[in-house]
Structure 1
């Protein structure tokens, strides 16, 4: 299906959705945090957080559908080129990662990145690590807090575990014991290795460029 002026319409839509998506991503995580951490007898705040989370999910679904229609591509082709958007739409736990795409759009305003490539990689890695760690800590705490034999009994324990897991340190003093908690752990550790590799590779490339530039600028025989 061909859409007339599809690329222009898509860019216009993306610009209009930058701010709403930038706000919606961390807000969804905040709603999830309320659902997990609020243990008061009154369910008002938990119900309000659930309603708001569903509304935010609808915003992401509308954004995804509109961009699919404007692209003029078949659904499978669009899915391959927008894998992150598809993943965060299907898996609610990862929806805050949509902030990475929004951050990229803001940085590329006027088609000129404000940060270097290496700076953007490190910034994305930092944002992703923070969001993933907090989301994983919430998810694991939700699974582990009432499990028999669990070592993660408080949210503080879960945050400590998430920090050690994503940094690939893995002290082992607190570990998930439930099947779903261990699935979250494997996913977080895999993301930690990937993020560490991205940051290390970018920093190494930046150093090589700096040294190469200094060698070229150095006077002959200097």
Structure 2
């Protein structure tokens, strides 16, 4: 029992660490795309390479443990995109149109990282419930609000209002980010909101499916009990008829 609890804690901690690393990596790629940073320069290059290495090890371990390798590869294509070291590849392959291909590779990596984050969130949702995801989103909203309040010169309440409207994909348009940092934060919130809504739908579906299965199980148990009661009643009826028949024979 203790070993199971320790294993569960280890898995929870591992999933949290991978989630944080995925969010950091997504942030780095987005900031690189909008021109705020360059992943090819230190210290961002070291951070990006370290995270990519961890993701590659994670992919290799899960691939080795997967019972059906081919199905694993097909269902984890985005995870594979997330571990491609595009910066090193395009540094090695230098040619005239490298800029366009590098941008395409960054977008592919961003899609891959988003897919990996979704897979991790699904695992967390199955193991630890939806509350963990809400807590992560709350932290993202608070950090985003602080950044927006700073760079866009809004008060913190208005920044929270904007963050909540963005993460819920409502987007009233009353507050619009004008700086590159603000727009990058908006993109992160949009990705977070889309992932959360998808997981919320998945969670509700799981709840209904689980309740439906429980109802079916209870109905099956009731049917079994009714069948057993019928057998008992038939036995009682047979016994009563036999006793009545013996009594009739005695009277005769």
TM-score bracket for this pair, using the shorter chain length: 0.3 to 0.5
TM-score, normalised with respect to structure 1: 0.45
User: Larger % of helix: which?
Assistant: 2
Query: Which has more radius of gyration?
Result: 2
